[in-house]
Amino acid sequence: MLTLAGFGGLALVACAVAPLVGSTPIDVRRVFDRSVPFADNVHAQIFFLARLPRVLAAALVGCALALSGVVFQALLRNPLASPDTLGVSAGASLGAMLAIALNADVRLAGVPAVPLASFAGSLGALAIVYALASARRRGSSTTVLLLAGVAITALLSAVVRFVQFVADSNQTLQSTRWLMGSLDVGSYPPLVAALVPTAAAAAAMATLPRMLDLVSVGTESAAARGVNVERAERVALISASLATGAAVSLAGPVAFVGIVVPHLVRLIVGAHHRLVLPAAGLFGAAFLVLCDLLARTLMAPVEFPVGVVTAVIGGPFFLWLLFRRR
């Protein structure tokens, strides 16, 4: 419990401090100064229109990716599994690429075309994965599902590259940048839209810890202990995919968070999912908020992709943790 409170505190502090720091110095008193109209208060505008949605997006995406990483690693019984493994991420990318290349300009409740198409793409990929998971004969190993995921990812990525190739140069620039991930969401509606599926997924995952503990050891022993393995797998697959789709459609693929944060957290709190799940969600949020803070300030005013920071910081740190306790 104390550990969880620690992770919660870390996430809160990160979310509270990050909006105050950035490439432009802002004055907190002037941010909340009501005597100046909002339209004239640049400090308040930078805080509320630029930084706050961005920090919240980072927290949401970090949390969603870390949670789905935990669930996929347990479900597939593979430490290398990540939110990208089953092709949901590639489906989201394909959706976004199509929206960019076709210059789609639809809008739903304030959410622009690219995140909409991206989320639709992730649902499409989930449908394929789900159909394959149901079709797989009882008792066959999760390796089959894993390999199917690799094949789907390869296929969808090939289509992504084809779409990029036929698009014109400006669209190719846009799509290449989309594939590097960005948390500068620019407004609140996409954030709210991503929060809904993520919250639903997190609620579903809250029912899973015990089953994940047993399933990650082996489906036979789980079944022997009275777990409805098939149902648990279904809930796990859908909730983790939804969270991934929401995260990727909001920010694009952000490398590394989904695979490494779960491991980092397990090294600290142990293997029980009752602890690992909430701790990973909180730590994922804090981690991505801090990485994005670095991405937007280190070379200011030029920003670089947050995925670069997550990998550069997370990689060596993870290696150190891994080899420290041999």
Partner 1 sequence: MNGPHGVRPRRHLPTVLLVVGATGLAVVLMQGWIPSKETAPQTPSPAGPQTQPTRIVSFVPAVTEMLFAMGAGDRVVGVSSYDRFPEAVRRLPAVGGLIDPNVERVLSLRPDLVIVYGTQRELRGQLDRAGINQFQYVHRDLADVTHTIRAVGALLQWHTAADRLASDIEHQLELVRQRVAGRRRPRTLVVFGRETGSLRRIHASGGYGFLHDLIQLAGGEDVLGDVRRESVELSAESVLSRGPEVIVELRYGQPLSFDAIEELRREWSALPGVPAVRNGRVNVMVGDEFVVPGPRVVLAAERLWTRLHR
87 touches 153 (CB < 8 A): yes
Min dist CB 250 to partner 1, Å, is: 10
Q: Which stretch binds partner 1 (CB under 8 A): 10-18, 40-48, 58-66, 85-93?
A: 40-48
CA distance 2 to 13: 16
Q: Let me know: does 289 contact 257? Beta carbons within 8 Å.
A: no
Beta-bridge partners for 111: 108
**E strands in the chain:** 107-108, 111-112
Binding residue (CB under 8 A) for partner 1 from 7, 72, 119, 178? 178
CB of 23 to partner 1, least distance (A): 7
CA dist 273 and 105 (Å) reads 42
182 in contact with partner 1 (CB under 8 A): yes
Using the contact rule CB under 8 A, the part of the chain among 3-11, 36-44, 83-91, 210-218 near partner 1 is 36-44
| Binding flag, residue 105, partner 1 (CB under 8 A) | yes
The single residue among 27, 131, 151, 177 that binds partner 1, judged by CB under 8 A, is: 177
- Whether 261 and 69 have beta carbons less than 8 Å apart is answered as yes
Least Å distance, CB 260 to partner 1, is 21
Taking the complex as a whole, the smallest distance from the CB of residue 259 to partner 1 amounts, in Å, to 23
49 binds partner 1 (CB under 8 A): yes
Residue 88, CA atoms < 13 Å, CB-side half-sphere: 32
Task: Give the N- to C-terminal CA distance of the chain in Å, as an integer.
Answer: 26
Closest CA to 64 of 300, 272, 323, 287: 287
Among 21, 131, 154, 173, binds partner 1 (CB under 8 A): 173
Examine residue 36 and tell whether it contacts partner 1 (CB under 8 A).
no
From 185-193, 214-222, 239-247, 254-262, give the range in contact with partner 1 by CB under 8 A. Answer: 185-193
- Total of chain residues touching partner 1, rule CB under 8 A: 41
Radius of gyration of the chain (CA): 20
Indicate whether 301 belongs to the interface with partner 1 (CB under 8 A).
yes
Alpha-carbon dihedral of residues 281, 264, 85, 161, nearest 10 degrees? 90
Closer CB to partner 1, 279 or 306, in the complex:
306
Secondary structure of 122-165 in the HEC alphabet?
A: HHHHHHHHHHHHHHCCCCCCHHHHHHHHHHHHHHHHHHHHHHHH
Site string for partner 1, 50-89 (x = CB under 8 A): xx--x-----------------------------------
Of the listed pieces 61-69, 171-179, 194-202, 277-285, which binds partner 1 according to CB under 8 A? 171-179
Binding site for partner 1 (CB under 8 A): 22-24, 38-42, 45-46, 49-51, 54, 99-100, 103-107, 112-114, 168-170, 173-174, 177-178, 182, 184-187, 190, 296, 301-303
